[in-house]
């Protein structure tokens, strides 16, 4: 017997595939973006499994927690560097902890190719992001993570979420996210809470990938 919610998930996935070609190439946190090069930006090192920092809960960016306060130059510089790092990787989302900064800050660019084949960058920053509510409806995407290179698995998450976040001008926004945006923001907010997408997999799969990265780190240290 096939369970009804499972059928829904499968259908939903098919729909996603039709609307936005969600193959590994352009959805699994690998963009088709052009790079935003600027001499002021610097590529930072992305930390990967099994680095324990990935399991830290990040601190709120205090300077921007109140709408009237300005984002510091340091926070802006970090966001700039994160974009540079993310485009270079390449990836579509990055949490500050992935460059070893335990702050609640996320960069993202979900720009798709235009009809003329060009991709205009659409960089977005989410400071102190919170999920206010989540849909009961779920959707499945194949996820990847710059901190778990070359590993992709399907993860089921709420299909839609309502978000609150602060932008680089210190303004607080509320916004609904769906599709790839909903998946990506949930994946990145998880990073701020020390959660990785492999935590949603079966224990067998998770243990296998954790072991693989632990071994690779050991080999690299030798």
Residues that bind Zn ion (CB under 5 A): 145
Query: At 150, which helix (H) or strand (E)?
Result: strand 148-158
Characterize 163-180 residue by residue with b for buried, 16 or more Cβ atoms within 10 angstroms of its Cβ, and e for exposed: bebbebebeeeeeebebb
Q: How far is the CB of 193 from Zn ion (least distance, A)?
A: 12
Residue 15 CA to residue 213 CA, distance in Å, equals 34
Q: Is 102 helix (H, G, I), strand (E, B) or coil?
A: coil
Q: Is 139 helix (H, G, I), strand (E, B) or coil?
A: strand
Residue 111 or 184 having the CB closest to Zn ion: 184
Residue 15, CA distances (Å) to 7, 21, 97, 99, 112 in order: 12, 10, 33, 34, 17
Q: How far is the CB of 198 from Zn ion (least distance, A)?
A: 10
By beta-carbon distance, which residue lies closest to Zn ion?
145
Residue 25 or 67 having the CB closest to Zn ion: 25
Residue 106 or 163 having the CB closest to Zn ion: 106
Burial (CB count <10 Å: 0-12, 13-18, 19+), residue 78:
buried
Q: Write down the catalytic residue from 84, 143, 153, 188.
A: 188
Query: At 149, which helix (H) or strand (E)?
Result: strand 148-158
For residue 143, indicate whether it is catalytic.
no
Q: How far is the CB of 50 from Zn ion (least distance, A)?
A: 14
Q: How far is the CB of 85 from Zn ion (least distance, A)?
A: 13
Residue 145 or 155 having the CB closest to Zn ion: 145
- With contact defined as beta carbons under 8 Å apart, do 37 and 43 qualify? no
Q: Which residues are catalytic?
A: 188
């Amino acid at each position: 017997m096939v369970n009804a919610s499972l059928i829904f998930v499968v259908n939903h996935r098919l729909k996603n595939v039709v609307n936005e070609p969600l193959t590994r190439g352009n959805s699994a946190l690998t963009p088709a973006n052009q790079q935003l090069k600027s001499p002021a930006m610097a590529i930072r090192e992305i930390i990967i499994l099994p680095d324990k920092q990935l399991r830290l809960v990040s601190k709120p960016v205090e300077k921007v927690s109140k709408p009237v306060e300005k984002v510091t130059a340091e926070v802006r510089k970090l966001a700039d560097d994160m974009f540079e790092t993310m485009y270079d990787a390449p990836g579509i989302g990055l949490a500050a902890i992935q460059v070893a900064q335990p702050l609640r800050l996320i960069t993202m660019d979900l720009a798709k190719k235009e009809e003329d084949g060009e991709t205009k960058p659409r960089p977005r920053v989410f400071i102190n992001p919170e999920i206010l509510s989540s849909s009961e409806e779920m959707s499945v995407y194949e996820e990847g993570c710059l901190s778990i290179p070359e590993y992709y698995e399907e993860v089921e998450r709420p299909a839609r979420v309502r978000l609150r976040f602060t932008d680089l001008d210190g303004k607080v926004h509320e916004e609904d996210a769906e599709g790839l945006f909903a998946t990506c923001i949930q994946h990145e907010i998880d990073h701020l809470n020390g959660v990785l997408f492999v935590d949603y997999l079966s224990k067998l799969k998770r243990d296998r990938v954790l072991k693989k990265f632990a071994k690779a780190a050991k080999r690299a240290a030798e």
